[in-house]
């Protein structure tokens, strides 16, 4: 594994250290908006094959980096590999999204769950991490990731994507102690899984709490935030003589930024419903901020994208601690050239905004 990192802007910014330009990477930067991704998925036969065969996962991770000068790679995988490894039987059917063959239907189902050994049941992910690090050869850092316990539990209990979250919310209000048992098991699974990714070579890790925002404030703190904090407390914080930054992202969590910052994470992801300047005033002295361009801006003309990117940079203001990203993942219908325009604009516009690094 190459210990030299040629572009360490991401890791520096995550630790609120000065950088020459604002680093940028994009959630779902490898995905359906890229024709080469769609071609690879057709050749591999399924989305799961892309995740489970390390050569494919590596190839897809590198696809966006071949097109754009992004400042990080993110492991190509999915958050739902963890419940799959716990025996729920994951599949993705075209246009339908994820589905579990054996969703959790009772307290007994939940009591039976065991924490998977990442080097056994999720070995294909860790092999992909090792391979990607080798192929990146120190070019940019590799971000590992997982879903939050609450977000994973929603899929495990609902069995698929959901409109109303009826089953998981009924469980939350009817049998909170059963839900706590599930969340604790999943939090332990996520902790060893992320530590496995870090040992395999992930240089930063992000936890996606996509559905935290559907919770009432008290329920958010009890059923999502508490387990995010449990994970942060259990993660390896240093590897290869560098700090391994942790990014937490609750979509729709703008009201709880202070709580996220107080978990001990290094950075907080911010969705596009929050003003980034306000987010910085609230928590920017404690953590770095990642975000937060509205993903729909990428449907607009390149000069509009540039103007909107300039606005996000201005909202954050000068000084360290900003990682440019979208407020959520890239939509499949986006023209890749617009992504190129965004990456170029962020690097160009932020160059003049950085105070002298003094090196």
Residue 37's CB is within 10 A of a number of other CB atoms, namely 20
Residues 149-168: x where in contact with ligand CP3 by CB under 6 A, - otherwise, as a string: ------------x-------
Active site residue 78: yes
- By C-alpha distance, which of 26, 5, 14, 19 is closest to 329? 26
Paired with 317 in beta bridges are none
Active site residue 32: yes
Q: Give yes or no for residue 63 binding ligand CP3 (CB under 6 A).
A: no
Q: Are 56 and 44 in contact (CB under 8 A)?
A: yes
Residues 185-224: x where in contact with ligand CP3 by CB under 6 A, - otherwise, as a string: -----------------------x-x--------------
Whether residue 292 is preceded by a cis peptide bond, meaning omega within 30 degrees of 0, is: yes
How many residues of this chain interact with ligand CP3, rule: CB under 6 A? Answer: 21
Q: In what order do the strands lie in the sheet with 267-269?
A: 73-74, 142-147, 204-209, 246-250, 267-269, 288-293, 322-326
Q: Give yes or no for residue 2 binding ligand CP3 (CB under 6 A).
A: no
Stretch that binds ligand CP3, among 25-33, 116-124, 336-344, 346-354 (CB under 6 A): 25-33
Tokens of 92: 């993705």
Among 68, 100, 145, 223, binds ligand CP3 (CB under 6 A): 145
User: Which residue of the set 33, 155, 193, 220 is catalytic?
Assistant: 155
User: Which residue of the set 32, 67, 99, 102 is catalytic?
Assistant: 32
Is 161 or 311 the residue whose CB approaches ligand CP3 more closely? Answer: 161
Active site residue 20: no
Q: Give yes or no for residue 88 binding ligand CP3 (CB under 6 A).
A: no
CA-to-CA separations, 353 to 18, 264, 314, in angstroms, rounded: 11, 28, 9
User: Which residue of the set 12, 16, 41, 338 is catalytic?
Assistant: 41
Is 79 or 343 the residue whose CB approaches ligand CP3 more closely? Answer: 79
Q: Give yes or no for residue 27 binding ligand CP3 (CB under 6 A).
A: yes
Active site residue 338: no
How many CA atoms are closer than 13 Å to the CA of 23, on its beta-carbon side? 26
Q: Match 């189902």 to its residue by tokens.
A: 109
What ranges in the chain are assigned the alpha helix state H? Answer: 9-14, 35-44, 47-52, 54-67, 81-83, 107-112, 123-136, 149-158, 166-174, 176-200, 217-220, 226-234, 257-261, 276-283, 302-316, 336-351
Q: Give yes or no for residue 30 binding ligand CP3 (CB under 6 A).
A: yes
Q: Give yes or no for residue 67 binding ligand CP3 (CB under 6 A).
A: no
Active site residue 351: no
Instruction: Please give the DSSP secondary-structure letter assigned to residue 239.
Output: E
Tokens of 343: 């990456």
Cα 206–Cα 270–Cα 185 angle in degrees, nearest 5: 40
Stretch that binds ligand CP3, among 21-29, 110-118, 217-225, 283-291 (CB under 6 A): 21-29
Shortest distance, position 342 Cβ to ligand CP3, whole Å: 15
Active site positions, annotated: 28, 32, 41, 78, 155
Positions touching ligand CP3 (CB under 6 A) are: 27-32, 41, 47, 74, 76, 78-80, 92, 97-98, 145, 161, 208, 210, 329
């Amino acid at each position: 594994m190459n210990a030299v990192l040629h572009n360490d802007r991401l890791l520096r910014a995550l630790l609120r250290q000065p950088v020459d330009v604002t680093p940028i990477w994009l959630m779902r930067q490898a995905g359906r908006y890229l024709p080469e991704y769609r071609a690879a998925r057709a050749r591999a036969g399924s989305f799961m094959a892309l995740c489970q065969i390390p050569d494919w996962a590596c190839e897809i991770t590198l696809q966006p980096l071949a097109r754009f000068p992004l400042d990080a790679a993110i492991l190509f995988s999915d958050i739902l590999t963890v419940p799959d490894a716990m025996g729920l039987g994951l599949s993705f059917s075209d246009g339908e999204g994820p589905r579990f063959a054996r969703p959790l239907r009772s307290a007994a189902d939940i009591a039976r769950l065991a924490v998977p050994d990442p080097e056994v049941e999720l070995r294909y992910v860790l092999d992909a991490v090792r391979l990607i690090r080798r192929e990146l050869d120190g070019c940019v850092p590799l971000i590992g990731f997982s879903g939050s316990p609450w977000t994973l539990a929603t899929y495990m209990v609902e069995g698929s994507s959901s409109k109303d979250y009826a089953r998981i919310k009924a469980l939350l209000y009817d049998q909170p102690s059963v839900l706590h048992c599930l969340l604790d098991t999943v939090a332990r699974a996520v902790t060893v899984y992320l530590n496995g990714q870090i040992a395999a070579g992930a240089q930063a890790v992000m936890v996606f709490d996509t559905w935290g925002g559907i919770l009432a404030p008290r329920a958010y703190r009890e059923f999502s935030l508490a387990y995010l904090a449990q994970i942060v407390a259990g993660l390896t914080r240093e590897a290869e003589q560098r700090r391994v930054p942790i990014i937490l992202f609750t979509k729709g969590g703008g009201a709880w930024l202070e709580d996220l910052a107080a978990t001990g994470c290094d950075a907080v992801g911010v969705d596009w419903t929050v003003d980034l300047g306000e987010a910085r005033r609230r928590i920017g002295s404690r953590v770095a901020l990642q975000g937060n361009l509205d993903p729909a801006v990428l449907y607009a003309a390149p000069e509009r994208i540039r103007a909107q990117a300039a606005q996000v940079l201005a909202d954050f203001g000068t000084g360290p601690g900003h990682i440019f990203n979208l407020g959520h993942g890239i939509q499949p219908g986006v023209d890749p050239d617009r992504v190129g325009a965004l990456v170029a604009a962020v690097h160009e516009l932020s160059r003049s905004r950085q105070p002298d690094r003094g090196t």
